[in-house]
A and B are shown apart, each in its own frame.
Chain A
Amino acid sequence: MISLAGRDIIHSWGKFVLTGFGLGLLIGVTLSMAGIYRGMVDDAKVMLDNTGADLWVVQQGTQGPYAESSSLYDDIYRSLLDMPGVLRAANVTYLNMQVNHGGHDVSAMVVGVMPGEPGTPGHPLYLIAGRHITRSHYEAVADINTGFQLGEHIQIRRNLYTVVGLTRRMVSYNGDPMVFIPLKDAQQAQFLKDNDALIQQRRRNADNPAFNRPQTPDLVDALNASQSTNTYVNAVLLQTKPDVFPEEVAESIRRWKRLQVYTRPQMEAIMFNKLIDKSAKQIALFLVILAIVSATIVAFIIYTLTMGKTREIAVLKLIGTPNRTIAGMIMQQSIGLGVIGFVVGKITATFWAPIFPKYVLLEPADALRGFIAVVLICALASLLAIRAALKIDPAEAISG
């Protein structure tokens, strides 16, 4: 049996394939936009996943450590370890900063982690090169997106750190790559002022008669020393025992330790409702508009493609081809065009996704949804075209 649609496509295959590619690029853009939205949501999620924590303990009355700043004494984690249901506890600090690398700055989130066995909350979950931090100072594990390589020296505040390990997909909620350094260094990096500020502070202290008394010459030194220490961390990450509900542990810490505690769902809510809320909605709205525009353009292309064949359809009618066959031809052609467009779109989206500076997550479920939408739109558009085609007067074949 000869497929009428097939024969028509073969007759003008160049036009058909090029139209398919054009459609494909449009669909590719739409799929990428969906990927950008998913990537944004995934960045926030993966940040929480990577901590390995069940509970986040932060300063009372704050929504830290990501949405607000929070500071806790760094020895609180010991008393939290004694709470029933707590398996592991680890201090952590987060600091968004520019890390100097070979003369230019890299936006990164510097994470201070406690030394410990693999799986300690806060640690990078896996490496793609190098090793974990073994020295208690001046070593760093960096996300590959920072562009750092093993053995390179990076500058954080006044100290140089050696990159000893690389990891990937360890990002902050806004997609900045993370740099893991030992906790004590990170605490120092958080409070350490620049040298000029330190000198000015010392001078202010020395000029203050309350601190610089002749009878107690050491007082000003003691004051200077006490002003340049930091015993604070931003949060304590807790892992709970397998047989307890995190919310129960959280409640007892809130009640007895007078600290704010967030569980994973609460933290996710803070992330999505407070941190990436507006930008995610912005992208989502644009995605919806882009999808509508793409659907309209696809429908118009199918329609105009069919309308361009008015004379051929009239001839078919003239030779007595049944309406069903003509409708089938148009439907098959448009769905075929849609399928080629989808395939091209998926391929292009996959190829250009890694070029984007931020993470683009192409989910198979999104692709499937896109495919169904493309087929449906093509079918609908072809219905319009079929309706127009069936109205064509066979006489047109021999007119003009």
Chain B
Amino acid sequence: MKARTLALISVVVALLAVFVFVNFRSGPFAAIRVTVASVEKRAIAPALFGIGTVEAQYTYKIGPTVASRVKHIAVQVGDLIHAGQVLGEMDPVDLDDRINAQKANRQRVASAVQAAEAQVQDGIARLQHANAQLQRYQKLLTTHAISQETVDIKRQEQRIAQAGLAADRANLDVAHRDLARVEADVKGALQQRSNQQLIAPADGLVVARDADPGTTLVAGQAVLIVIDPNSLWINARFDQLRASGLRAGLSARIALRSQAEQTFAGSVLRLEPLADAVTEETLAKVVFDDIPDPLPLVGELAEVTVALPMHSAVPVINKASVQRIDNRLGVWRVDDGELRFAPVTLGAEDLEGSVEILTGLNQGDQVVVYSERALNTRSRIAIVEQLAGVSP
């Protein structure tokens, strides 16, 4: 009988013990499990994170200056080209015939110049003869062998010869100018002809061939797009809320989407004076220290992490500790197992989630980092190393 009583009592006691245990381990009576950390004094290195696309600093869009049709293209996408190389040609249509006409015209005008020169020679001869005649008749007049009237006629003839020569010279001048004009016309036509050729303005890499022979293009439309592969940079965008301190010269790490595990060294070349007003982002150009080989693809997504200068050592906590209670930012401080809300002011933060505490905490203070539930001053807490469900 006694053994049975004991057995029954032990079963009941065990049940009650488990009952009390479960009531205090779960539900609202249970202590909230939290992890705590002490406030460390250390220096943090804030950093900025942005994304952008690989772009080329120098992009040349090569195309016709007037509406015309593509005649042939000598290069393909991926070809390396040199400055001055002929990359293709637009169809000149009747330009060559017009040049031939201009050249024939030039010969005609050159002949006209020769004719005018002969005219001038003729005029000079006439004038010399008139001068000689006048001198001879003037001598005869002094001996009264001829009348004054005859001398006057000779003087008039000499003046007519003078005027004729002046007219001939003017004609020659006109012919010379005509020749110059026609020559300029020929030169212009030849230049127009050479403008039909698509010439590389600089060394580069052909990245696009937008039109094939036979295609008609409007003025300014690109046939070929050429980039300078040594001028690749990242056009990076930083959220304006998290872009303070960004400036030229800061070092950066660049991760390309296709090679996410690898990062490349770079630096901020410049901060764009114009920000994007729609996306509320600050724009910056980030250059590679060494252009990666193989070349990054133009247009590829890249992640940029810019390191800011190291701060001096101050109290630092994990930002997961910071809560907003009654409109104040603060942390839950643990004093002798009691929770106390300590308002804080925050300083700079880094990308690993650490934040500087400017006021409100001292080095060595114990603060709650993670908690199973939201806390309040009446919460009962149990401090653990790690919360349930989190793998170490």
A positions within 8 Å CB-CB of B? 9-11, 13, 17, 87, 115-119, 125-132, 134-138, 144, 149-150, 160, 164-166, 168-169, 184, 214-215, 217, 231, 242, 340, 343-344, 346-347, 350-351, 353, 362-364
Contact yes or no, B29 A364, CB < 8 A? yes
Contact yes or no, A129 B319, CB < 8 A? no
Is B8 part of the binding interface, using a Cβ–Cβ cutoff of 8 Å? Answer: yes
Contact yes or no, B218 A217, CB < 8 A? yes
Contact yes or no, A340 B12, CB < 8 A? yes
Contacts of B294 in A (CB 8 A): none
The chain A residue with its CB closest to the CB of B319 is: A132
The CA-CA distance from A217 to B217 in the complex, in Å, is: 9
Is B18 part of the binding interface, using a Cβ–Cβ cutoff of 8 Å? Answer: yes
Contact yes or no, B22 A134, CB < 8 A? no
| 6 cross-chain pairs, A with B, having the tightest CB-CB distances, nearest first | A119-B324, A131-B353, A135-B49, A136-B239, A129-B390, A350-B22
The CA-CA distance from A346 to B15 in the complex, in Å, is: 11
The chain B residue with its CB closest to the CB of A135 is: B49
Q: Measured between C-beta atoms, what is the minimum distance from B330 to chain A in Å? A: 10
The chain B residue with its CB closest to the CB of A349 is: B22
The CA-CA distance from A68 to B290 in the complex, in Å, is: 52
> Which of B260, B279, B323 is within 8 Å of A126, CB to CB?
B323
The CA-CA distance from A130 to B353 in the complex, in Å, is: 8
Contact yes or no, A136 B390, CB < 8 A? no
Contacts of A134 in B (CB 8 A): 49, 319, 349-353
Contact yes or no, B27 A362, CB < 8 A? yes
Contact yes or no, B324 A118, CB < 8 A? yes
Is B93 part of the binding interface, using a Cβ–Cβ cutoff of 8 Å? Answer: no
Contact yes or no, A10 B352, CB < 8 A? no
Stretch from B112-120, B174-182, B368-376 that touches the partner: B368-376
Contact yes or no, A125 B374, CB < 8 A? yes
Q: How large is the interface on B (under 10, 10 to 19, 20 to 34, 35 or more residues)?
A: 35 or more
The chain B residue with its CB closest to the CB of A215 is: B218
User: Please, what's the 1-or-0 string for B359-375, where 1 marks a CB less than 8 Å from any CB in chain A?
Assistant: 00000000001111111
The CA-CA distance from A376 to B51 in the complex, in Å, is: 67
The chain A residue with its CB closest to the CB of B4 is: A10
The chain B residue with its CB closest to the CB of A115 is: B241
Contact yes or no, A136 B49, CB < 8 A? yes
Contact yes or no, B391 A214, CB < 8 A? no
Could you write out 25 A-B pairs with CB less than 8 Å apart? Answer: A10-B1, A10-B8, A13-B7, A117-B329, A119-B329, A125-B374, A126-B374, A126-B375, A127-B369, A130-B320, A130-B353, A132-B319, A134-B49, A134-B350, A135-B351, A136-B242, A137-B49, A144-B389, A149-B391, A150-B391, A169-B373, A242-B327, A340-B15, A350-B27, A364-B27
The CA-CA distance from A87 to B49 in the complex, in Å, is: 28
The CA-CA distance from A11 to B374 in the complex, in Å, is: 51
Contact yes or no, A116 B241, CB < 8 A? yes
The CA-CA distance from A346 to B374 in the complex, in Å, is: 26
Contacts of A184 in B (CB 8 A): 239, 279
Contacts of A364 in B (CB 8 A): 23, 27-29
Contacts of A144 in B (CB 8 A): 389-390
B-side binding surface: helix, strand, loop or mixed? mixed
The CA-CA distance from A34 to B97 in the complex, in Å, is: 98
User: Please, what's the 1-or-0 string for B324-355, where 1 marks a CB less than 8 Å from any CB in chain A?
Assistant: 10010100000000000000001001111100
Is B235 part of the binding interface, using a Cβ–Cβ cutoff of 8 Å? Answer: no
| Known pairs A136-B51, A136-B238 / 6 extra A-B pairs, C-beta < 8 Å | A9-B8, A118-B324, A134-B49, A134-B350, A165-B320, A350-B26
The CA-CA distance from A131 to B369 in the complex, in Å, is: 10
Contact yes or no, B4 A13, CB < 8 A? yes
The chain B residue with its CB closest to the CB of A351 is: B22
Q: Measured between C-beta atoms, what is the minimum distance from A87 to chain B in Å? A: 7
- Given contact pairs A217-B221, A362-B27, A131 touches B319 in the complex (Cβ within 8 A): yes
Contact yes or no, A168 B319, CB < 8 A? no
The chain B residue with its CB closest to the CB of A87 is: B327
Is B50 part of the binding interface, using a Cβ–Cβ cutoff of 8 Å? Answer: yes
Q: Measured between C-beta atoms, what is the minimum distance from A312 to chain B in Å? A: 16
Is B66 part of the binding interface, using a Cβ–Cβ cutoff of 8 Å? Answer: no
Contacts of B22 in A (CB 8 A): 346-347, 350-351
Contact yes or no, B319 A347, CB < 8 A? no
Contacts of B372 in A (CB 8 A): 128, 168
Contacts of B371 in A (CB 8 A): 126, 128
Q: Measured between C-beta atoms, what is the minimum distance from A48 to chain B in Å? A: 14
Q: Measured between C-beta atoms, what is the minimum distance from A233 to chain B in Å? A: 14
> Which of B238, B242, B278, B370 is within 8 Å of A129, CB to CB?
B370
- Interface-central residue, B15, B279, B374, B391, by most chain A CB under 10 Å: B15
- Interface-central residue, A119, A125, A128, A166, by most chain B CB under 10 Å: A128
Contact yes or no, B242 A115, CB < 8 A? yes
The CA-CA distance from A184 to B278 in the complex, in Å, is: 12
Q: Measured between C-beta atoms, what is the minimum distance from A150 to chain B in Å? A: 7
Residues facing A in B7-23 (CB within 8 A) are 7-8, 11-12, 15-16, 18-19, 22-23
Residues facing A in B265-304 (CB within 8 A) are 278-279, 303
Contact yes or no, A119 B323, CB < 8 A? yes
Contact yes or no, B218 A214, CB < 8 A? yes
Contact yes or no, A164 B19, CB < 8 A? no
The CA-CA distance from A118 to B4 in the complex, in Å, is: 61
Is B130 part of the binding interface, using a Cβ–Cβ cutoff of 8 Å? Answer: no
Contact yes or no, A343 B320, CB < 8 A? no
Contacts of A87 in B (CB 8 A): 327
Is B196 part of the binding interface, using a Cβ–Cβ cutoff of 8 Å? Answer: no
The CA-CA distance from A138 to B239 in the complex, in Å, is: 13
